[in-house]
Amino acid sequence: MKVVVQRVSSASVKVGNQITGAINKGLLLLVGVHQDDTDEQMKWMCEKILKLRVFEDQDEKMNLSVSDVKGEILVVSQFTLYGDARKGTRPSYIDAARPEKAEPMYDAMIKYFETHSDLNIQTGKFGAMMDVELVNDGPVTLILEK
């Protein structure tokens, strides 16, 4: 599993002209599922994200997690994170999980955040063409992989 984590002051995702998810201060997660990912890896990733200290404390040090600051999380599926462009100019997505595996894992990740935190969890729409808008706070962007 690969997740691009962006600390944002706001973010939203639209499918067509409809907003499917929007947050204020928190984390935008772009989530790619690998064909070999397991539930244990997904749970590890969720716990890591909930505890990741990327928000500033009173001394302006990144010492607080999204849970500590009562932030929000916007989860967006993005299979292109597993695009391999080492050969040629057209990326190969062979390592990305097929939708029949990726969608249940994406849904389980959302459910994990909802049941293991009291944060506002918003989402994109799996498999849809989406417009994602964000104001990257910092900017702070990390790539997590398990």
Both tokens of 66, joined, read 């999204």
Looking at residue 12, its amino acid is S
Both tokens of 90, joined, read 């057209």
Q: Is 72 helix (H, G, I), strand (E, B) or coil?
A: strand
Active site residues: 78-80
DSSP 8-class letter at 128: S
